Structure 1
Amino acid sequence: MSPLPSRRAVRVLAPLVITVLLATLSACARGSGPSGPELALDAPLPTQVPEGTRLRIGDPQTKVALELSGEIGKLSFEVEWANFSGGPQTLEAFRADALDVGSVADIPPIHATWIGLPVKIVAAKFRKDPLDHPVYELGIAPGVHVRTLADLRGKRIAYSPGQAQGALVLRVLRKAGLTKDDVTLVELPSTGDVYVNALASRQVDMAPLGGVNIKRYLAKYGDRGAATIPHGVRDDPTHLYVRTETLRDPAKAAAIREYVQAWARAAVWVYEHPEEWIQGYYVKDQGLSPADGAYLVKQAGEPDIPASWTDVIARHQETIDLLAAESGNPVINAKDLYDLRFERVAADAIRKKGA
């Protein structure tokens, strides 16, 4: 299936690799705030997107899903796509005023708040049967004896503060009845194949591995004794979040609402069209083999986009409490991270799609 062009101009940014790029984007973005009265944060969301509205979005996987599904041609606003996602890059782009919408797990909004950057979550997505479809498995270095979580005592563990993998490590230790004092945390960025290489070289004994790295790690180092074990905790949150000040712009607030709707419909399309997704995203866009793509589709399972955020916020609060206790940062109210005006936007979009 060929990608469908948007009715609006769509520009794709190069990967975020140097601070100069962010500075350049920031300079270009100055003056992009509200041109008229600001929208109160408790005012109803506007539903009409004014002509000329533009969003800068760091969500490259959804971009491809929108193209393949045809949703991108229905957007009524211009999109400037940033070819990056994840916590650190999104946070830096927010701080440089170079991004409007980011796609992350549950940790970056917490850390953004702790460094004084007000943000709001506007969409939440999970996996049905999350323990059977985890995002991560625990990679075990060749020759290291770890068969249960209790075996992690005394081990060197890859740790990335401020990212989902770092929080997962803390959750796993708590589940095992261990603390940071019972292990050695080795701070490493969880990007690319850093964790795979750290395991293979025995720089660490355990590291959370996600996506195709799980399969490739076992294929490459399994004959040397490499292994993975399940961790048995939920690790599936995906959020769209924005700077709070962005939501004061009525035009951008309306466009974000529309994007959340398209994002939800695209997520369902990906699940319902696995072969097109494997070929269009994993093979053509990511350069993976069809076998790797099929593995990732099976691993992801079915998306879960809840209409109520009550349980979502409660789980997020547990994460905040854990991170605060470990880091010494103040406990924040998880509910304050969410813009509840968006609570039903994504769920209603897929309900109407199936109606």
Structure 2
Amino acid sequence: MRPILTRRLLGTAALGLLAAPALAQSTPVLRIGNQKGGLRSLIEASGAGRDLPYRIEWSEFPAAAPLLEALNAGALDLGYQGDLAFLTVFASGAPLRGIGVARPSPAGQGILVRDDRIRSLADLRGRRIAGNRGGWGHYLIRAALKREGIAPEAVTINFLPPTDALLAFRSGAVDAWAIWEPYISVEIQQFGARTLVDGKGLTPSIMFVSAHEQAIRDKRPQLADFLRRFAAGWDWARGHIPDYARYNAALTRIPEAALQRAYAIEATAAAPLDEAVVQEFQAAADQAVEFGLLRERVAVRGALDLGFAPAARG
């Protein structure tokens, strides 16, 4: 009888092995792009990712541009990036939609200087300012100059990605740097920089959760659930800044004190993607055309799916 029993057990085990891949295939999967210290940290550090009714496949990217390229190509379902980066890719015809929003304070963007002789924007006439082309840095430089009535030609804008701009700023190859947190806090705390002007009243400050159109069609319940967890994650992070800073400091090697300062300044919160966001985003997009970030006007309503707004509220 024992051989027969063994065969029965083996048969049962074999059925279990066959069922496991089928079960895995039936579990929905969200493919999400992440930048170190970003969306994945928020979900995992806050505990918002517990008891998921689907699986998350995280893919790591060094910056928003390659992440958006992967999203555009359909290799991802979901990403998280700033408003201007998202707008630029959408304007090129990418099949993406913004489905959720977080709002960091525009005080988390700024133009940094180190030279004590530079006390105002007017002192930057004839000097070099670094910023990322087509992004928050570019926009902030142009908006700040416009507010002060200074012609763009009065300064030289060196378009550099953040890693290159950092080296140029510290070496003195540029006189000012338009950048965002936590770069700002690191430069202030460790390298004697100061903020000449911040983004308040000058720049949009909208972080979009963006999704591929195919994912919106096929995985809408999973996307809605993720947005609720996204909102819960930011609720936790605002109330646990030291814990969140400690978690990301270990992951990114950015000093914990700089992250604490950055998170306190940004005070990021999830917000509903509603008509107010549409209007603000449209105004920023129109300004981006004037500033040379975009070639032509973009109707931003087509870039946004407002149907997820209740989910984003949590």
Q: Which residue of 2 aligns with 1:104?
A: 81
TM-score (norm 2): 0.81
Matched, 1:136 2:103: no
Query: 2:288 corresponds to which residue?
Result: 323
For residues 96-151 of structure 1, give each alpha carbon's deviation from its aligned partner in whole angstroms, at most 9, with x where no partner exists.
33221111111122211222213210011113xx35xx1222111436x3322333
Taking only aligned residues, the RMSD between alpha carbons, in angstroms, comes to 2.4
State the SS of the aligned residue for 2:83: coil
1:257 corresponds to 2:224: yes
Shift of 1:240: 0.5
Paired AA for residue 137 in structure 1: G
Q: C-alpha separation between the residues in 2 aligned to 1:99 and 1:335? A: 22
In 2, Cα distance between equivalents of 1:178 and 1:242: 39
Residue ranges of structure 1 left out of the alignment (5+ in a row): 1-49, 350-355
**From 290, 298, 307, the counterpart of 1:332:** 298
Deviation, 1:241, is 0.8
Could you tell me whether the CA contact under 8 Å between 2:129 and 2:157 is conserved in 1? yes
Please point out which of 240, 244, 251 is paired with 2:213. 244
Alignment match, 2:194: 227
**Which residue in the other structure is 1:72 paired with?**
49
- Find the partner of 2:100 among 106, 123, 132: 123
What's the offset of the Cα at 1:68?
Answer: 2.6
Q: Following TM superposition, by how much is the alpha carbon of 1:201 offset from its aligned partner in structure 2, in angstroms?
A: 2.1
Structure with larger Rg: 2
CA deviation map 1:171-227 (0-9, x unaligned): 22222223432321211112x4x32221122222211233243233234443xxx43
Alignment correspondent of 1:43: none
Alignment-derived partner of residue 313 in structure 1? 278
Which moved further from structure 2: 102-111 or 320-329? 320-329
Report the CA distance shift for 1:291/1:304 in structure 2 as closer, same or farther (over 3 A).
closer
**Is residue 189 of structure 1 aligned with residue 186 of structure 2?**
no
Alignment match, 2:130:
158
In 1: Cα distance, 2:76 partner to 2:259 partner: 29
The 8 Å contact of residues 34 and 67 in structure 2, kept in 1 or not, is answered as no
C-alpha separation in 1, matches of 2:29 and 2:90 = 25
Q: Partner of 1:266 in structure 2?
A: 233
Aligned length: 285
Q: More helix per residue: 1 or 2?
A: 2
How far is 1:308 from its partner? 5.6
- Opposite residue 236 of structure 1, the aligned amino acid is S
2:310 corresponds in structure 1 to: 344
SS in 2 for 1:73: coil
Q: Tell me the percent identity.
A: 22
Tell me how far 1:270 sits from its aligned partner.
0.9
Q: Secondary structure at the match of 1:157?
A: strand
2:3 is matched with which residue?
A: none
